[in-house]
Structure 1
Amino acid sequence: MPLSNEYHPGGPLKQDLTVHYDTIICNYLSSAHYGTGDYQAPADWQKFYGPWYVYINKGSEQQVLADAQKVAQVKKAEWPCQWVRDTMYPTQRGAVTGTLQLGQKPASKAQVILAAPGYDIIHDRSGYVFSAETDAQGHFTVPAVRPGEYTLQAYMQGGSVTDTFVSQPFMVGDKGADLRTLQWQAPAQQVLWQIGTADHRANEFVYGGAERNYIWMTKVPENLTYIVGKSKADKDWYYAQTKPGDWNIDFQLTAAQQAKGGELQVALAGYSTGMGKKFKNAHAELLLNGQKLQDIQFENDQTVYRCGTSSGTYHLVKVPLSAAQLKAGENKLTIHNQGASLLYDTILMVQKK
């Protein structure tokens, strides 16, 4: 039983090749899959992993599972283990608490992540990462945080805010820290249309969050048309665009909306290409009404072809749209794929208020 995830790299959405259909238990301390990449450890690098609790019970399948879950909750509450004696394992710790405010409202159900200042949560694995979720009032409690210097990162798990909040650095002592109220400036924008929800995951789309299987990437269509106001994200948009072709989004604008212009936001829960030289230039193109806006191309995080259906490395593309690029009436946004695999979080068009 892993009593804490603080020593695992990648943050709360980190996945790896550890999910099996049979009775294999993998305890990955580190890996290079799902966007993490290789890590070149410096000569003097040290890190403390564990301890883990090994528990063996017996009974029916339902009994052993329920019993193990109950024991795990008890053991997790005992973290950090007071019997460990090592200078790299501080047993005197406290909670980091605070309230995250998004504009004039609480940042409800946001994901909060603590790491060292400048720490790349996806790619770095030299240090420790802690996480929690805010409640309905924006309050959060991150328990048993190692003393040290941190920044807090946060993103919403629903809605239309695609940005990430990053706090100023702060110190955590052996009794924790109270960050009081953290103010996240809400984007002054009006959503004209949106597909999906901003949560860094693809779970709301067709096959999103499905059990790992290579079949899902083969079942998505090469081409599709999504009609805003008619189509449904959970029926007509797929978790990932994996094949060469065009995915179109048809949307309507009034004359007043067209004259104001706007911004297109494409949030990706992951981005993959195939393996080998032939995929070196794999990318996707964004086109609006037949005119190219820009390319989408990122480092291969391997998520899609490793059967990931939920999340990998998050990317956010923002494209300003002028009135001249838009039409009063029907508009067509095209995502023209040329060898990439785009794992979708959300796509939306906004205007400044």
Structure 2
Amino acid sequence: MSPIGVQLYVQDRLVVMDNGILRVTLSNPEGIVTGIQYNDIDNLLEVLNEEVNRGYWDLVWSSPSSTGTNGIFDVIKGTNFSVIVESEDQVELSFTRTWDPSLEGKLVPLNIDKRFVMLRGSSGFYSYAIYEHLKEWPAFNLDETRIAFKLSKEKFHYMAMADNRQRYMPLPDDRLPPRGQPLGYPEAVLLVNPIEPELKGEVDDKYQYSCDNKDSGVHGWMCTDPATGFWLITPSNEFRSGGPVKQNLTSHVGPTTLAVFLSAHYSGEDLVPKFQTGEPWKKVFGPVFIHVNSTFVEEDPLQQLWEDAKMQMMIEVQSWPYSFPASEDFPSSYQRGNVSGRLLVRDRYIGDDSISAAGAYVGLAPPGDPGSWQRECKDYQFWTQANDDGYFSINDIHGHRNYNLYAWVPGFIGDYRYDVVINITEGCDINMGDLVYEPARDGPTLWEIGIPDRSAAEFYVPDPNPKYINKLFVNHPDKFRQYGLWERYAELYPDKDLVYNVGVSDYSKDWFFAQVTRKIDNSKTYQGTTWQIKFKLDNVNKNSTYKLRLALASTTLSELQVRINDEKANRPLFSSGLIGKDNSIARHGIHGLYRLYNVDVPGARLVEGDNTIFLTQARGNSPFQGIMYDYIRFEGPPSSSSSKKNNV
């Protein structure tokens, strides 16, 4: 521990926390972080920005009658400041904004309490917030909330969010005309005359740096003179919406670093919580840790800073739930409970015995239908990943709540839900024993395309147009993050749409990662596309029902129609109707919200010999509409004597 205790200085218009390692200045009573002094740098934040645009909590809200995900942007400014804890070991500050009916229509109807915590010897500080909607208050939608930091653009040029996702970034001025040229949407900019010549011709787009919640523990920026890092560490995802594979923004040109707690990115309106009049609600977002570090190692200082940041992330994760938050709304470890067990999978067409659900994602979320957790956005969720034998342990679950236990298993379609509601009490330790998931299955697999893992990453992702390259993603496993890949489809299939031949085609080479629209000639008009799956059947039971299972990784304003052996049939055998607002094609996401459709195919529609399934995405208003498939399986009828599994 540092021999220097935490010092607090309160003035009329500012508050300062100082533990001898860093010095943090906040506006009084607004609670905006205006300065962070560390490692002989007077301010890590951008001093050219107005003070309200440096380090802040914000939200987007809208009226209950609004649709979509747009609303009123609000930087949350406290109106009252108080000291919650003041000692040499800890300072905790509170900046509150209280709502009353005179503010209706002007401010979001929430009481908001922003907290900032500094500990002795800590190279950083913590922040969390308590949002509360009282029963008698009006209805509203909460489209987004987060904490944001705008760093010194003179100092911070190198961004890191994973071992293989880090680079020197463009400057914010590079995005502005005439240095930058906007592309298909405002976030994507072609750097035509950047300040650093080596970046010329690259695309910058903040969505290229999105990340699944489960993979977004630490991200931030570094400068080299002096070698200094600024990191946002999220030690738990319990307070984030949408579960472990919900994607959010991280760090991007600015230099900007975000902790996003609630957003509609890669999901659309499904993940906008809508609060009704008379609906009480309270939630704690955070704490997150703002970590700063430095190094005196001259050899590869950026790597040293990154490795230290990852180490600090592990320390924070192991320290969760934190013992220091003073708010009674943040439950301590003894107020939480644990759930453990083992998940098995039984698919009678693979084998008679249950097998371990290796790598399964298992979680507790508010009660709902199977799979409802991915649209849940008001309460808390607690997730883990099972080991190779299917054993799982979910720890530190908020008590005094009811949950369902949910799971999904890579390699198997669908969602598991344990049907009995689980009540978590303080200190409980519940062992669920062996749980068995029986994924949807009617008959033997006649053929399949892809891997059931809720992602389209295994399909053919083309190289980008050389005019639109982000060099980070060249020869990178995440090549789907390149800009403009939707335009490559028409170049690969200029005259006819995709045709896939079962038993001959290879889905990693012959199944385009997204069924996108096609531009008509040189006009601004687009049309839907129809893909074909051709397959042979030696025998057909005309009196039985076959099953086509369509697992979708993402949909954007799409309508999926299925026809069998008659592309011109007036009525499709199946139509999804208009689905999806994920926008994952434009935002380089490779997945959004998961959907599974199970289509009955009458044997009378099939013939012995050559058959064709026509998959039509019927909507065509923009280049960004389309479907990403996760996995497709065609099953024989239950009475089929053949249970041979053909991998395609």
TM-score by length of structure 2 reads 0.50
Determine whether 1:342 maps to 2:627: yes
Equivalent in the alignment of 2:395: 143
In the aligned structure 1, how far is the partner of 2:539 from the partner of 2:360? 36
Which structure has more relative contact order (CA 8 Å, sep 6+)? It is: 1
CA deviations on 1:258-295 (whole Å, 9 max, x unpaired) are 7754100111011102xxxxxxxx52321111143111
Determine whether 1:66 maps to 2:66: no
Please state how far the C-alpha of 1:25 moved relative to its aligned partner.
Answer: 1.4
Q: Decide which structure has the larger Cα Rg and report it.
A: 2
**Partner amino acid, structure 2, of 1:108:** A
CA deviations on 1:169-215 (whole Å, 9 max, x unpaired) are 11223334221111223535311111111111111112295353431
In the aligned structure 2, how far is the partner of 1:118 from the partner of 1:109? 23
User: 8 Å contact 2:266–2:589 — kept in the other structure?
Assistant: no
User: 8 Å contact 2:555–2:627 — kept in the other structure?
Assistant: yes
Please state how far the C-alpha of 1:122 moved relative to its aligned partner.
Answer: 3.1
Which runs of no fewer than 5 residues in structure 2 stay unpaired?
Answer: 1-232, 296-300, 347-353, 462-476, 518-527, 620-624, 640-648
Determine whether 1:322 maps to 2:602: yes
Structure 1's 35 and 213: CA in aligned 2 closer, same or farther, altered over 3 A?
same
Report sequence identity in percent: 26
CA deviations on 1:124-155 (whole Å, 9 max, x unpaired) are 32100111122221111122221222111111
Equivalent in the alignment of 2:510: 236
In the aligned structure 2, how far is the partner of 1:300 from the partner of 1:322? 28
In the aligned structure 2, how far is the partner of 1:266 from the partner of 1:311? 15
**Partner amino acid, structure 1, of 2:457:** N
Q: Which of 185, 192, 202 is equivalent to 2:456? A: 202
Equivalent in the alignment of 1:102: 345
Equivalent in the alignment of 1:39: 273
Determine whether 1:311 maps to 2:564: no
Equivalent in the alignment of 1:111: 361
User: 8 Å contact 1:108–1:134 — kept in the other structure?
Assistant: yes
| Aligned partner of residue 69 in structure 1, secondary structure | helix
Equivalent in the alignment of 1:177: 430
**Partner amino acid, structure 1, of 2:454:** H
User: 8 Å contact 2:459–2:513 — kept in the other structure?
Assistant: yes
User: 8 Å contact 1:209–1:310 — kept in the other structure?
Assistant: no
CA deviations on 1:67-107 (whole Å, 9 max, x unpaired) are 11111111100100011122221112343211112222222
| Aligned partner of residue 313 in structure 1, secondary structure | coil
User: 8 Å contact 1:196–1:346 — kept in the other structure?
Assistant: yes
In the aligned structure 1, how far is the partner of 2:487 from the partner of 2:381? 35
TM-score by length of structure 1 reads 0.89
**Partner amino acid, structure 2, of 1:255:** N
Determine whether 1:55 maps to 2:291: yes
In the aligned structure 2, how far is the partner of 1:216 from the partner of 1:192? 32
Please state how far the C-alpha of 1:326 moved relative to its aligned partner.
Answer: 0.9
In the aligned structure 2, how far is the partner of 1:21 from the partner of 1:289? 50
Q: Which has the higher strand share?
A: 2
Please state how far the C-alpha of 1:305 moved relative to its aligned partner.
Answer: 4.3
In the aligned structure 2, how far is the partner of 1:209 from the partner of 1:258? 44
**Partner amino acid, structure 2, of 1:28:** V
| Aligned partner of residue 49 in structure 1, secondary structure | strand
Which runs of no fewer than 5 residues in structure 1 stay unpaired?
Answer: 274-281
CA deviations on 1:12-63 (whole Å, 9 max, x unpaired) are 1101344647753111121222225232234532100111112111342211
